Chain A
Amino acid sequence: MICLAQSSSQLLTPDIKRVGGRLACLCGTCKNTVGDCPMLECHYTKPAREKIAKLQALGTPDDEIVKSFVQQQGLQALSAPPTTGFSGLAWIMPWVAIGLGLCAIYLFIQKFHPKRATAGAPEIDSETLARYRANIDKDLEKLD
């Protein structure tokens, strides 16, 4: 028989899941949070859930619980990078990339807009123009 320690399943209360969702499972393989890691006997998540339950029983607010994990494990304890300091770049950069992309599209549109695109074009002399018009007339006659 494959046995599990007692009460792993009892650690999955909504309150523990809520706080656990802000904490990464640091088992080294999965990318789940402490709140949703499905391995009930996970060597990281189970003690983490027990700690959350203990602190919640003492009336510790969510932020303080999370802070205690960060003090112990460093920033890696968080399931998502903090929005301040160097880690803030993680959040900002995708939007900066979109902004730069929009600028690139704006420049592209400016460059290839007909008004701009033809602005520097050489003027066509009347002789060439007459030749083109004659060609068009000829083509139109063929259509008739």
Chain B
Amino acid sequence: MENLGSVALILAFCFAVYSVLASLIGKWRDKPFLTVSGQRAVYTVFALVSAASGILLYALIAGDYRLSYVASHTNKAMAIHYKFAAWWGGQEGSLLLWAFLLSAYSAVVVFTNRRKFRDMMPWVISVLMLTEAFFLMLDTFVLSPFQVFEAGRGNIVNLGDGQGLNPLLQYWTMVIHPPMLYLGYVGFTVPFAFAFASLVTKQPGDAWIATTRRWTIITWLFQTTGIILGAGWAYAVLGWGGYWAWDPVENASLLPWITATAFLHSVMMQEKKGMMKVWNMVLISGTFFLCIFGTFLTRSGVVSSVHAFAQSSIGKYFVAFLAIGIAGTIYLILDRLQYLKSESHLESVLSRESSFLFNNLILLASCFAVLWGTLFPVLSEAVTGDKISVDKPFYDRINIPIGLFLLFLTGVGPLIAWRKSSFESLKRAFLWPTVLGASLMIGLAAGGVRHPYALVSFGLCLFVATTVLMEFYKGSRAISAKQGKNLLLGAIELTHRNTRRYGGYVVHMGIVIMFVGFTGAAFNRDATVEVARGTETDIGGYHLKIADIQDGENDNFAWDKALVTVSKNGQVIGTMEPERRLYKASKQPTSEVAIRRRLNEDLYLNFAGMSADNTKAVIQSYVFPLVSWIWIGYWVLLAGTLVCLVPPKVRLQYARTEVVGIAGKHATVEK
């Protein structure tokens, strides 16, 4: 079976290389049969990688402990869904998942564009399949998931059982968090491939953007979902209630998300005004390479991280791929500058165009700060020989002010008119949001809130929320007055007319709600106590009584559990059962925290273990104000993004203001 898997991967690698060559030679020598053959090779690659993935999954679920990968990441005691998740639980399997998703995406791209973009498609396929070949090369020749245990030459050993998946990964979000993140990482290859092909073929228009717009939004949504699921996993599993620790691997997932967010904004400038073409090329290329860079960080051992796979030798391959890819892309952009000239000019500093520039600047500054912080320890050691640590205090001090300014722009940008805004119109748009935001800050300060960033953040959240709601209200009121509908129906009609704009506002609202949740962290409380059965303790208005301490075991793990009766204002409000497990196969302890989730705050209990004399339970108790709003904000963001994907009811045509002397095209775009 393992031989079939290996052969499938080798064949897939060969077909990927063939697809690149056939596409390019077919295009170069004008041989349509070769380009078509190159396209069909993409389907073959997909079929072969699917077969290899299927074989690995079968081995994981059936428990073929002759395979090193299976024995290292599963055992008999594991539930079937975690055996499935072991596919991406290790280095080799996760590389295979990358290859599988890219082959699937490539097949979809080829199928949906089979009668379009005859000029660009050979290049699109080449970029996709070159990337695919790179990952297949790693999975075939460097780290094969089908490696068997051998005792002497040809003597295959069956271990009978395995070590099991890392217990920290045996949590439901871990079954979907990595695939979501990978769907994001891998998905950005497609818009990059179209952008690259557009450059190579000197496309005069914005076809690549129109084609990949929905793709980019969906990919961005996957990436967002992956990041939030990861945050949710950290919150519920690691036992300290944090959802973001500025770990290098977490940062690696955030970097392409930030550049992709910048791209989703600045691309509107290109669609509507024919501006920022070079910048958009840089952003989408940067996003793709940051995805590869993130994959490299997780696997190379360059940085230490709780999430990283074991140190391996594959880092040098990623460095080579990144170096060649980045150099090639920079050369191509510089060589094609004359095709990327702006078609419009900036008419006023007080304009939507300007706000996009600032939005991009701040997003990129945030991206740079995170990248800089992640790599600075490596740089410092290389330059000075001193190891240094760059942890949460650094990121908080740099990124909180940047994040707050970004939040401010989230409110300001959409209300400034395209081309030019007058002082009067700005006053009309921002008077009430400013008054309300400032009032909230004053009110909170008067109420005893002294945390400056928290005050500013809450004020800005209300400011932005008001601007968004006012936009909906004004539009809905106009529609309801004209068509005799109520405000709710008016809002639905308004959104349907311009789904991208109003879906975007809903996304902004989701971000605001998430900021409310982030800001709650300024008021976290915690206490760690050793408590015997029957003893009581207090935290943040809650009264905790240890009703019982139990222990037990099953095939997979041994456990200790505390039964904690929780009271508030003298009323019993429930029993919580934080648990500590020790997994037998890996000898690794994990926490099964108990969380009482409410909109105003979460009560979070972690059973840290037993005291040395085995008579007391060590309980870490935390109160996390407003943290639920982070997850609620995500659902709002998800809804907004889905609205953006709905085709608009009305398509509007906007002529671009041309720069004198440049032959620009008038584009058909949605407002």
Contact = CB atoms under 8 A, between A and B. Distances in A.
Interface of A: 1-6, 8-10, 12, 21-22, 24, 26, 28-33, 36, 38, 40-41, 74-81, 85-87, 89-91, 93-94, 97-98, 101-102, 104-105, 108-109, 112-114, 117-118, 120-122
A118 B657 CA distance: 12
B551 A81 contact: no
7 contacts: A4-B610, A33-B392, A85-B384, A87-B386, A89-B376, A98-B362, A113-B346
A46 B43 CA distance: 56
Contact of B387 (A74, A118, A120): A74
Interface string B235-270: 000111000011100000000000000000000000
B383 A38 contact: no
Contact size range, B: 35 or more
Contacts of B239: 38
Contacts of A91: 394, 398
Contact of B358 (A10, A74, A94, A105): A105
Given A86-B383, A121-B660, 12 more contacts: A3-B609, A3-B612, A21-B393, A29-B304, A31-B247, A31-B392, A33-B392, A94-B372, A94-B402, A105-B357, A109-B349, A121-B661
A42 to B, nearest CB: 11
A101 B394 contact: no
Contacts of A78: 388-389
B372 to A, nearest CB: 5
A79 B389 contact: yes
B530 interface: yes
B28 to A, nearest CB: 37
Interface of B: 238-240, 245-247, 275, 304-306, 342, 344-347, 349, 354, 357-358, 361-362, 364-365, 368-369, 372-373, 376-377, 380, 383-384, 386-394, 397-398, 402, 528-530, 551, 558, 560, 580, 582, 589, 606, 608-614, 618, 620, 659-661
By secondary structure, the B interface counts as: mixed
A144 B660 CA distance: 29
A9 B528 CA distance: 6
A60 to B, nearest CB: 21
A20 B335 CA distance: 53
Contacts of B661: 120-122
A40 B609 contact: yes
Contacts of A5: 612
B530 A31 contact: no
A127 B430 CA distance: 47
Contact of B376 (A6, A90, A113): A90
A38 B606 contact: yes
A105 B361 contact: yes
A28 to B, nearest CB: 6
A88 to B, nearest CB: 11
B393 A79 contact: yes
A90 B560 CA distance: 44
A19 to B, nearest CB: 13
B390 A90 contact: yes
A117 B275 contact: no
A86 B397 CA distance: 18
A94 B358 CA distance: 15
Contacts of A2: 558, 560, 580, 582, 589, 609-610
A6 B364 CA distance: 48
Contact of A32 (B245, B275, B369, B551): B245
Contacts of A10: 530
A32 B391 contact: yes
A86 B384 contact: yes
A112 B376 contact: no
A112 B346 contact: yes
Nearest to A98: B365
Contacts of A121: 660-661
Nearest to B394: A80
A102 B357 CA distance: 9
Q: Which of A12, A89, A94, A97 has the most CB of B within 10 A?
A: A94
B365 A101 contact: yes
Given A21-B393, A105-B361, A94 B398 contact: yes
Contact of A6 (B391, B551, B608, B613): B613
B358 A4 contact: no
A117 B342 CA distance: 11
Contact of A86 (B358, B380, B393, B582): B380
Contacts of B397: 80
B386 A76 contact: yes
B611 A98 contact: no
A76 B347 contact: no
A67 B304 CA distance: 24
A114 B347 contact: yes
B529 A9 contact: yes
Nearest to A120: B661
A67 to B, nearest CB: 16
Contacts of B344: 112
Nearest to A116: B345
A85 B385 CA distance: 13
B610 A98 contact: no
A98 B613 contact: no
Contact of A80 (B240, B372, B390): B390
